[in-house]
Amino acid sequence: AALALLCGSVAAVVVWKWLGKRQIQKKMEEAQRTRDEGVKKMAKAIPLIFPFQVSSAQTDAILSLPLLELTGRLREGSLSPRTVLYTYVEKALEVTKQTNCLRHFIPECEEQLQEIQQQREKGLLYGIPISIKDHIGHKGHLSTCGLVQCLGTPVQEDSILVKVLKSQGAVPFAMTNVPQSLFNYDCSNPIFGQTLNPFNHQKSPGGSSGGEGALIAGGGSILGIGSDVGGSIRLPSSFCGLCGLKPTAERLSVWCTCLLNVDVCSRPTPVPCALGPMARDVDSLALCMKALLCQEMFQLDPTVPPIPFDEEVYSSSAPLRVGYYDTDGYFPLPPCMRRAVWETRGALRAAGHQLVPFSPPRIHYVMTELFLKTFFADGGCAWLDLFTGNIIDPSLKPQVNCCKIPRLGKMLLALILKHLDYLSDSPLLLKLKNIATIPTCRSVKEMWNHHHQIEAYRTEFIARWRELQLDVVLCPVLGPAFTLGYPGKLLTAISSTMLYNVLNFPAGVVPVSMVTEADEEELKHYRGCCNDPWDRTLKQVCNTETGCGRGRGGCVALPWREELCLRFMKEVETLSQKK
C-alpha cells in the first residue's frame, strides 16, 4: 500500500508538472500566433490603403530622407503622413521577415494618423513613424520583456514617453523584440525567437534594444526608443552601425515602461535605467530629445526636472577639451575599436580641440563591487523567479547557471579564490571572481553601504574629470557585432558601457570607420589581458568581413549635459564623414 501511494504521488507530481509546462507552451504559442496574424493583417492592409501603385523610386526617396528633411517635407505638406507611415510599414515587413526584429505592429497607428490631423499645431515630430522597444508601455498591448509571465494582461495606459511622442505628432507603429528579461546584450527569447543583424544574419544585433537596432539599421524605422541599464542602447547601436544616446536616467520619464515590476527599469536601484533615442544620425537624436523635453513631459511626470533642450549648446562650435582613452584596463577591445578612438582623436585635434589622456579609475572594482552587486544583491534569486516554468533562453543559460550554483559551492569557490590573493592583479582571476562568485549584499546595512560606495565612486570620478578640466570624454565601445549566441558567454565584455550607467552620465555612440584588412590581421594576434578563455572567445566572435563591421566612438558628458554630449557626437560624426 505504501509503495502504491508513493508511486501514485510521483505520478501525480509528474502529471502536474507536465500540465503546467503544457499550459505555458499554449501561452507561448498563442502569443506567437497573435504576432504572426498581426504581421499578416498589416501586409494585407497595405494594398487596400494604397490601391494605386507607389513607385519604387518614390518609396526609396522617402526611405532615404534624413529625419530633419522628412519632418520638413511633412510639415510643408509635400509628403502626407499616411504615405510616409505605410512606406515604413512596408519596409518594416521586409526587414522583420529577414531579421525577426518586430514583436508586434501597432494597428492603432491608423487612429493616431487621424488624431494628428486634428491637432491645432504640428508638433516637432509631425507624421514621423516611430518604433518602440517591447517594454515601453503602449495602451492595449503587452509589455512582455520576453517572459511568459507577462503574456496575460495588456497595458491599460500609454507610458508618459508614448504620450509625449504622440502629442508631438509622432506615430508609434511597431514594438520591437528584446532578450528574455532584458538582461542580455543578445536579442533572443523563447516566445518570439532570435533577432538577427540585418547586415550579417550570423551576427547578433546587440541588446537589449536589439529589435530596435535591427529594424532601424535595416531601414524599417527612422527613429526608435530603447532603454539602457548596462549598454542596451549603445551596444545595439554599435553592433548595427547606428547612433544612440543614453541620457542621464532622470532626464526622460520611465513611468509605465514595463509590466508587473519584472525588469530593471522598475526597481529602485542605484544604477538606474534610462530611456533614449536610436537613429541613423546625430541630428535625429537631437530632434527627438528636443521634442521630448517639453512642457507636457514635465507636467505628466513631475519627477523629471523641467530642463528644456538647450539648442545653443548643441549648435555651439567652441573648441572642446576632450579626455580620451582606448582601453579601460579590464577588457581590451578588438583592434578596430581602439583604432577608431585613435583616428577620432587625431581628427579632433586637427579640428582645433584639446585632447587630454584620461584613465577611468578602478574598473575591476566598478564591474564587480558596484555594477554586478547592484543587480545580483540577492544572489540572483529575484531574477531567477522571472523564469516561469524554468523556460530559459539558451543565450541566458551561462548567467542563470552561475546564479544557480548552490551557496555551499559559491562559498568553497570564494575560499579557493581567497587563497589566490597573491594573484589579485591577474585579469583572469578577476574575471573568474565576477563570473563564479557574483557578490551579494547579506544585510540591509551592507546594502546601504553599497549605495554609499556608488556615490563615493561617482564623486571620485567627477573629481578626476574636474581636475583635468574636461568638457567631454572620448572612449571605446564594444564591437563589432558578435556571432549569435556569444554575448551571453562574455558578460564581462560590457565594461566599456556599464561604467556610465554606474556613474549615470549621458553617453552616446557614433559609427566612425570601417573594419580594415589590417584590423583583421591584427585581430589574429589579439591576446587581450592574458589570452585567457574570455580573450580567446572575443577573438573568435569578432571575425567579420573587411568593410562590413564598423569602428565606433563613445562620447560622454557630465550628468544633465545631454546637449553637450550630442554636440560632441555631432562633431565626431562630421569629422568621420569628412574623412
Task: Check the annotation: does 181 bind a ligand.
Answer: no
- Asked whether the beta carbons of 119 and 238 are under 8 A apart, the reply is no
Q: Which of 143, 159, 208, 227 is catalytic?
A: 208
- Is pLDDT at 268 greater than 60 in this prediction? no
CATH of the domain at 531: 3.90.1300.10
Determine phi and psi for 241, rounding to 5 degrees.
70, 35
- Range in 156-160, 323-327, 532-536 the model is least confident about: 532-536
Are 451 and 553 part of one and the same domain? yes
- Residue 173 within any structural domain of the chain: yes
Are 66 and 182 part of one and the same domain? yes
- Whole-model pTM: value is 0.93
Answer with the one of 409, 440, 471 that is the final residue of a domain: 440
35: amino acid identity, one letter: R
Determine phi and psi for 35, rounding to 5 degrees.
-60, -45
Is 133 in the active site? yes
Report the run of H or E that residue 323 belongs to, with start and end.
strand 321-324
Rounded to 10 degrees, the C-alpha dihedral 483/485/486/491 comes to 140
Is 163 in the active site? no
**In this predicted model, what pLDDT tens digit does every residue of 469-525 receive, in sequence order?**
999 999 999 989 999 989 988 888 899 999 999 999 999 999 998 887 887 877 777
Which has more confidence, 129 or 488?
Answer: 129
pLDDT of residue 372: 87
55 prior amide bond cis, ω within 30: no
- Is pLDDT at 548 greater than 60 in this prediction? no
CB-count burial class (<10 Å; 0-12, 13-18, 19+) for 106: buried
Q: Which of 91, 131, 133, 431 is catalytic?
A: 133
Task: Check the annotation: does 230 bind a ligand.
Answer: yes
Are 388 and 523 part of one and the same domain? no
DSSP 273-302: -EEEEEESSHHHHHHHHHHHSSHHHHHH-T
Is 41 in the active site? no
Arithmetic mean of pLDDT, 285-313 = 97
Are 154 and 219 part of one and the same domain? yes
Residues spanned by the domain of 458:
321-377+443-578
- Is pLDDT at 260 greater than 70 in this prediction? no
- Residue 537 within any structural domain of the chain: yes
Arithmetic mean of pLDDT, 80-97 = 96
Range 36-42, long-range pairs (CB < 8 A, 24+ positions): 38/104, 38/105, 38/107, 39/93, 39/96, 39/102, 39/105, 41/105, 41/107, 42/89, 42/93, 42/105, 42/107
- Residue 314 within any structural domain of the chain: no
Confidence of residue 259 (pLDDT cuts 50, 70, 90): very low
Task: Check the annotation: does 79 bind a ligand.
Answer: no
pLDDT of residue 417: 63
Are 391 and 482 part of one and the same domain? no
Burial 447-482 (b: 16+ CB within 10 A, else e): beebeebbeebbeebeeebeeeebbbbbbbbbbbbb
Answer with the one of 309, 329, 360 that is the final residue of a domain: 309
**In this predicted model, what pLDDT tens digit does every residue of 7-53 receive, in sequence order?**
777 777 677 776 778 888 999 999 999 999 999 999 988 887 766 66
Are 139 and 272 part of one and the same domain? yes
Task: Check the annotation: does 56 bind a ligand.
Answer: no
Which has more confidence, 574 or 334?
Answer: 574
CA distances from 21 to 18, 388, 389, 496, 536 (A): 5, 9, 6, 39, 38
CB-count burial class (<10 Å; 0-12, 13-18, 19+) for 390: exposed
pLDDT of residue 188: 97
Task: Check the annotation: does 232 bind a ligand.
Answer: yes
- Range in 3-7, 123-127, 551-555 the model is least confident about: 3-7
- Is pLDDT at 277 greater than 90 in this prediction? yes
- Is pLDDT at 556 greater than 50 in this prediction? yes
d(CA 371, CA 364): 10
**Average pLDDT taken over every residue of the chain:** 88
Arithmetic mean of pLDDT, 205-218 = 97
DSSP 342-403: HHHHHHHHHTT-EEEE---S-HHHIIIIIIIHHHTTTTTHHHHTTSGGG---GGGHHHHHHH
- Which candidate, 384, 331, 393, 283, places its Cα nearest to that of 529? 331
Answer with the one of 309, 334, 353 that is the final residue of a domain: 309
pLDDT of residue 155: 92
pLDDT of residue 409: 74
Percent of the chain whose predicted confidence (pLDDT) is above 90: 65
Count of domains for the chain: 3
Q: Which of 159, 181, 232, 495 is catalytic?
A: 232
- Is pLDDT at 527 greater than 90 in this prediction? no
Are 526 and 513 part of one and the same domain? yes
Confidence of residue 91 (pLDDT cuts 50, 70, 90): very high
